Structure 1
């Protein structure tokens, strides 16, 4: 179904702003129906790697199973597609909640927006879009939970921020790259820190040849994935935190995305490992779009080689690799961590929105908003956040 929505005041359309405020909206029945428009938008719209059609399709067919796709295609007054909001509707505690596809595995939630159209949007237009999506969605929407949205991306202000929002608990962190990897790493790390890391890499060499590898075959993808999942599970138990990869279909997701495009040398998820004597001791996975490498997950061995910081060594090799392939930005995703703030030179401010649609969603929006504000206050506290981390570790050790 296609609807034309007019948000211009008093129904007048004589100027350019009024024309920009007219749009049509169509909800695609599924990924196949949306694919042509989606891929066309990828050519010149602003979006993150997590909104690539291939990434979203791999996620939705695995970790996203059970939800209902709600792929909203927004066109201008002439009927030309200008934006796409890749949403999914899922049942949560009796509520139908619409969120960006990807959930916790998506570090940057965003629509695909052609910049000129995004710049012409205003608050009334944004409210009208969400209202019409809810009216024409394939199932009831009680609440929009739109979290982890960047305030701006690739020089474009996020138009959804025109309506009520609140800061996310954490920000994203990125490092600007250049053609000289040694200069980039030299600026990001102190001389003593780099010398210490080289010494640790040399110490790893006492256990066997140290190598930086990218998974280039189905067999390597499976091996790296299984090792990552085991390392991640052990680390989460040690820290006493939930494991976002505990679901059986998490493996299915990584395998699907890391093998899609692999034959052409462009997998949706790129897997890297630091190996010692041929065995991975650290794993890093990420996805690329628009000259930006977006880190998704990492883990390292819990054995005796941990003291040599194999994760940091792998990260340094990966940054060099990204510089050499001409990428412009390397990001470590959202979430507070010392290694992120010490290495990165840029911060991606994020915001959350909880927009109620029905009476069921009203109370939930208030509760979600309050919970996220509390979470942010704790994470931003130099006293409370270390205390929470210590309590989690104690819980993990007690459960071991």
Structure 2
């Protein structure tokens, strides 16, 4: 059932004035008038907004993690209360913030749907709104959102937002924020694989790839498998969860994929039919021939929206052909494939790891916006800022970070209902 909270306020200071209309989606345009009222509505269901949502998500600025299918898969597997914020001007939707309410230590937090497993969050904004959203307008909108969510949440936590993305400044960049402890890493894709690896150490990359293929052939060969049938998808995702559990256990790390609801989320994504090259989740694997006939040495999950591809996860079986680095080989093959399919960005996601720095030419800083609603929320916001800065400091000291990860892994062996980051 839809629940609506209205809050009309004037957008003064640098109004959204008329100008050349910007295309939104394939078939609609919008011109934003002077000093229009912004209407804020909060929905506890996604369905009433599906048409507008899918129209806005076509924009390349919008993260695939705010796509309708991604959010729906998470909502169905977790059942958290939703608080989807819609902003409109003169009856036209200008933004949607897909939020869910989670409770931590009695504090109700409104965060992006699927936040713990999102690599990048932008919200969904009309290009015309992004173009004309001044700092004063952003602050006015933020105040309206806080008032609209009063009684539902104590704190709005808009996490992992790049304030500079694809040549545009985020409309909320003027709001108070804290740098997220995790940066994201991307590889800009050129016209072909040769031109792409030329940005890196091309000679080393070519040599490594040839050596991997030669070693694979010595074991009987391999194939790059892209799961196509329901049976292949089910088998690969089950194997990924097993491989990842073994890997985390061996490294003394907490297994964020262990909860049933997390596994259900990824299985939900696999049921969404691709739209051309676009898909919320596609499974790739290295399947061995010869002495290890049919065995899977490496698995990765890719998501794609427009020309942006994100690697959501990966795993390897360290018992199989360890001298071939099957995970690295799979990345080479996947990148080569998506280049041929017209992708422009291969995103390795958040988290600073050595293999990402070997591949990536872009490091994207992300920021968290914290909007307290209640007194409890103000205390929580201060705590989250402190925790975020502390995590950033810890991650600059690898020894301390490794110790804390081992401690978390021991705690992770106890039953839990929520994956931790």
Q: Could you say whether these structures have the same fold, taking a TM-score greater than 0.5 normalized by the shorter chain as the test?
A: yes
Shift of 1:127: 3.2
Q: CA separation in 2, counterparts of 1:350 and 1:117? A: 21
RMSD: 2.7
The verdict on how the C-alpha distance between 1:207 and 1:189 changes in structure 2, with shifts beyond 3 A counting, is same
- Comparing 239-248 with 115-124, which one deviates more in the overlay? 115-124
Q: CA separation in 2, counterparts of 1:343 and 1:365? A: 35
Partner of 1:290: 306
Partner of 1:310: 326
Q: CA separation in 1, counterparts of 2:170 and 2:141? A: 14
User: Unaligned 5+ residue runs, structure 2?
Assistant: 19-31, 414-421
Scaled by the length of structure 2, the TM-score of the pair is: 0.85
Shift of 1:138: 8.8
Contact 1:239-1:392 at 8 Å conserved across structures: no
Partner of 2:252: 240
Alpha-carbon displacement from aligned partner over 1:42-86 (angstroms, at most 9, x marks no partner): 234730111111111112111x32x1111111112x221111111
1:55 corresponds to which of 67, 70, 75:
70
Partner of 1:40: 55
Shift of 1:198: 2.4
User: Unaligned 5+ residue runs, structure 1?
Assistant: none
The verdict on how the C-alpha distance between 1:318 and 1:139 changes in structure 2, with shifts beyond 3 A counting, is farther
- Comparing 323-332 with 33-42, which one deviates more in the overlay? 33-42
Contact 1:71-1:87 at 8 Å conserved across structures: yes
Alpha-carbon displacement from aligned partner over 1:291-341 (angstroms, at most 9, x marks no partner): 110111111112142342110000000000010001111110111011111
Q: Secondary structure at the match of 1:178?
A: coil
Contact 1:30-1:71 at 8 Å conserved across structures: yes
* 1:145 aligned onto 2:157: yes
- Comparing 261-270 with 283-292, which one deviates more in the overlay? 261-270
Q: CA separation in 1, counterparts of 2:72 and 2:363? A: 28
- Comparing 176-185 with 370-379, which one deviates more in the overlay? 176-185
Query: What is the aligned length?
Result: 391
The verdict on how the C-alpha distance between 1:264 and 1:125 changes in structure 2, with shifts beyond 3 A counting, is closer
Q: CA separation in 1, counterparts of 2:213 and 2:48? A: 50
Alpha-carbon displacement from aligned partner over 1:204-229 (angstroms, at most 9, x marks no partner): 33333311111101001111101111
The verdict on how the C-alpha distance between 1:341 and 1:20 changes in structure 2, with shifts beyond 3 A counting, is farther
- Comparing 145-154 with 388-397, which one deviates more in the overlay? 388-397
* 1:366 aligned onto 2:379: no
Q: CA separation in 1, counterparts of 2:49 and 2:330? A: 38
1:5 corresponds to which of 6, 9, 27:
9
